[in-house]
Structure 1
């Protein structure tokens, strides 16, 4: 997480406004807390010590995406905070900490989400970021 936060602190997203940064293999549950905390710190005296011109959450919502693993039960709440267009679904295959029932886990994960949000997470966001369609 520290390396991720450093991208914001050193003005990376201002220097490279077309950069698309994708966070994989880290789950997404920590994201809401981190963005909230970075925004709070930026608004305080420490904000003057960075090269950022905007709130960290603004950069994230413009230039970053994150994958969510099949067992992330709080995903709907994080999506509400960050936005559905910032998430990918990831199977975490072949790591041994996930069982092989990815399709069932995926169906359960996206079941409570609106259909447009499901589409974004399952394929739309990946296609857009990587130019697949």
Structure 2
């Protein structure tokens, strides 16, 4: 059967994915051991953050694919979805991966500061990420090696974006290996294969 599916990170009818209306969805995904990936897109008439500030397609693509994913990440972690569903697996896809380190640091900083911590969480955000979350990198990202050390290669997947014209094919695996030069064989195996296998429950 199916191992996973994807949803958009954007707010639907003005509700983020941590809203109560989504609880049956998250509960079902957890019960069915069904991985959920977030993937941004341009269609569907859904609201997209920041597009009112720029006119160019390139600028809007830079903004929406990354920032919508950051907001979805905030919703599932800070909004309590991961804490409420400890066996849930979620991934942040086709948005680059370098943003995840400062984003987790920022959530942890606010979690530790009781003046800002209105989350109701009992677990630090970075720990929830380690338990529930994965992130994909593009094969040309220079921060991949650093992030593999920071969040762990087993939390990383990579993408070709096939068959889109801006994708990385053929040759994406070699591009990833080049970014990982100097890392251990174990880290390379985690990034190249084990992260995706664990996210989709293929172990």
TM-score, normalised relative to structure 1: 0.89
Can you give the 5+ residue segments of structure 2 that lack an aligned partner in the other structure? 1-69
Can you give the 5+ residue segments of structure 1 that lack an aligned partner in the other structure? none
Measured on the aligned residues, the alpha-carbon RMSD in Å equals 1.6
Structure with the largest fraction of helix: 1
Matched residue, 2:100: 31
Deviation at 1:98, TM superposition (A): 4.0
Deviation at 1:51, TM superposition (A): 2.2
2:144 aligned residue (71, 75, 78): 75
Gap change, CA 1:103 and 1:8, over 3 Å in 2: closer
Instruction: Select the structure of larger CA radius of gyration.
Output: 2
Matched residue, 2:35: none
1:12 aligned residue (75, 78, 81): 81
Gap change, CA 1:6 and 1:105, over 3 Å in 2: same
1:104 aligned residue (174, 179, 191): 174
Gap change, CA 1:126 and 1:54, over 3 Å in 2: same
* Bigger relative contact order (CA 8 A; separation at least 6): 1
TM-score, normalised relative to structure 2: 0.60
Contact persistence 2:161–2:168 (CA under 8 A): no
Gap change, CA 1:104 and 1:84, over 3 Å in 2: closer
